[in-house]
A and B are shown apart, each in its own frame.
Chain A
Amino acid sequence: MKCENCGVNEATVRYYQNINGDKKQLHLCSDCAESLGFTSFSNIFSPMFLDSKNYDFLEEPQVCNVCHYSFDDYLKTGLFGCPNCYESFQDRLDSLFLKLHGKTRHVELEKENKTKKEVTEKSNLSKKDNKLDELKEKLKALIEEEKYEEAAVIRDKIKEIEGK
C-alpha cells in the first residue's frame, strides 16, 4: 500500500484515530509521518491536526462498516461488497445512479406516494357517495311524505354534488 499523504512511498506506519467511536485508519510513509508531526500516537488527537485543512484526506475513508469494502474497491471491481454498502456509500450513489439509470430512487417510493394519493382521493370519493346515498334516501322519504318544498332543497343539493 502506498502512503496516503504523498502517494509515492510505501506506507510503513499505520495510525488509528477514534472520534466518537468512528474508527479511521491512516497509512503513511515514515517521512510523511514525521513531517506531519505524527511522531507519537497522542499527536493524532492534537487540536492543530484536527483543525487543519491540510489533512482533509482523513475525512472520507469510505469504507463499508459491515464488509469493509471501500468505494475504490467498487471502482476496481464494479461490484459492491454487501447490501450495506448501499448505505455506506449513499453520498456517492445519486450521481452514480443518475449515470447508470437516469434515476436515483427505487420506484416503490414513488408508487407509494401515488397510491396514498389515490387512496385519499378514493376515500373522498366514497365519502361523497355516502352523502349522496343519504340525501337520496331523504329525498325519497320527503316525497313520500309529500313535503315537496323540503324535497326541492334536497334535490338541488343532490344535483350540486353530482355535478362536481
Chain B
Amino acid sequence: MWYKEISNDSDVVISTRIRFARNLDNYKFVHMLNSNEKNEVLDKVKNAINSEYKFLDIKNIDETTLFSLVEGHLISKEFAAQAEGAIVINDDNRLVAMVNEEDHLRIQAFEPGFNIDSCYKNIKKFTDSLEEKLKFAKSKKYGYLTSCPTNVGSGMRVSIMLHLPALTKIGVISNILEQVTALGLSVRGLYGENTSAYGNIYQISNQRTLGLLDTEIIDKVKIVVTTIINEERKARNKINSYKLQDEVYRAYGILKNARILKEEEALKLLSKVRLGVCMNIINEVELSKVQQMMIDTQSNSLQVICKQALSEKEEDIKRAEYVRKELD
C-alpha cells in the first residue's frame, strides 16, 4: 500500500490527498434521497467505472475492516458509520472514492510524501473518465454544485498530512498554525483535540473552492506547506542534542520491550521514533516501517491484522506483541 512508501519530503510530510466533490445532475443531494434513489446513484456509478477499479458495497464490508479504512484515512468516519454507500478503490489504494457520502461522489487520490502533482494527475484522469459517462451537477455561475456550499466551484480539497514534532517542541506550533489559518488554509490536529494534538500530526487543507483555478489552489498549498517543511527542518537542527537522542532511544526501547501498549501511547512513541529516524539519530528501524506501524497499531487495523475481535485488554497486549515483532 502507498502509505508504506517513502517519497518527496517524507521526513516531514506523511501523505498528500486531493478530494473532488461531485454530484449527479437530476438527483437531489444524498441526505434528501430515499433508499431507491440512493441505489440508483450507486448503480450509475458502478456502471460508469472501468475494470481497473473495484466497486464495494459497504453493506458487504464488516465493521472492523470498514473502520480500519477510517484509521488509514481512506474514508471518513461519517461514511463508515452509515448503512448505504459504496467504495470505489484501485489496487494500491491510491484512488478511493466514496459513493453517497455527503455528496454523491467524494473522489480521493493519495500519495505518500509531498506529491500534489501526481495526486492531481490521478484524480483528474479518473474523474474525467467518469464525467464522460455521467452528467455532473454544474452551473456556469457557481461551477460544480455540492451539497455543502463550502465545497462549491472547483469542489476540490487538497490536504497535506504533516509530522511537526520539532516545531511543537520549540513551542512555535500554535503560532505557525495561526498564521496558516490567516492565509485562508485550514489546519487540524489529527489525533486528540486540536489544542492537545498528540502524535504531532497535522493536516493542512485549502478552505476556499469558489472562483479559483485548481492550479491556484494547488500553488497556494504548495507555497505554504513548503515553508512549513523548511521551518520544521530548521527546528529539528536546533533541537538535536543528547537529550533528544535519549528521548528517541527511550521511546524505541519501550516499543521494543513493552508487554502492554495502548493506542495513544504507541502513537506518541512512534512519533518520537519517526523523528529520530528522519534525523538519523536511530538507524535500527526504517521510516517505511514506522509509517506502517502508525497506521497498523490503531484499534481496528490491529484487529484486521490479528484476524480476530479483541477486548480492550487483549488489544493492548496484541499491540505490544505486534510492535515487538515488527521491530525485531
Contact = CB atoms under 8 A, between A and B. Distances in A.
Interface in A134-163: none
Contacts of B27: 82
A105 interface: yes
A27 to B, nearest CB: 22
Interface in B204-240: 208-213, 216
Given A96-B149, A101-B153, A101-B211, A106 B29 contact: no
A105 B211 contact: yes
B145 A101 contact: no
A90 B27 CA distance: 19
A86 B143 CA distance: 11
Interface in A23-78: 66-67, 69, 77-78
B148 interface: yes
Contact of A80 (B149, B184, B211, B216): B149
A13 interface: no
Interface residues of B, number: 30
A67 B28 contact: yes
A100 B211 CA distance: 11
Interface string B9-28: 00000000000000101011
Contact of A110 (B142, B184, B211): B211
Interface in B135-194: 137, 139-143, 145, 147-150, 152-154, 184
B1 interface: no
Nearest to B28: A82
A107 B217 CA distance: 12
Contacts, number: 90
> Helix, strand, loop or mixed for chain B's interface?
loop
Of listed B137, B139, B141, residue having the most chain A CB within 10 A:
B141
A96 B153 CA distance: 14
B143 A78 contact: no
A100 B142 contact: no
A79 B143 CA distance: 17
A130 interface: no
Given A107-B143, A107-B211, A79 B148 contact: yes
Nearest to B103: A79
B28 A107 contact: no
Counting chain A residues whose Cβ lies within 8 A of the other chain, the interface size class is: 20 to 34
Nearest to A66: B28
B154 A86 contact: no
B32 A69 contact: yes
A86 B142 contact: yes
Nearest to A83: B137
B148 A105 contact: no
Nearest to B139: A86
A111 B213 CA distance: 8
A96 B210 CA distance: 12
B102 interface: yes
A21 interface: no
Given A105-B142, A107-B143, A97 B210 contact: yes
A102 B145 CA distance: 17
A87 interface: yes
A93 B153 CA distance: 13
B182 to A, nearest CB: 13
A164 B102 CA distance: 55
Given A80-B149, A108-B143, 17 more contacts: A67-B28, A83-B25, A83-B145, A86-B141, A97-B210, A100-B210, A101-B208, A104-B211, A105-B141, A105-B142, A105-B211, A106-B139, A106-B153, A106-B211, A107-B210, A109-B141, A111-B213
22 contacts: A66-B28, A67-B32, A79-B31, A80-B147, A80-B149, A81-B28, A83-B29, A83-B139, A86-B139, A86-B142, A90-B141, A101-B153, A101-B209, A102-B184, A103-B211, A105-B210, A106-B139, A106-B141, A106-B142, A106-B211, A107-B216, A109-B140
Interface of A: 66-67, 69, 77-83, 86-87, 90, 93, 96-97, 100-111
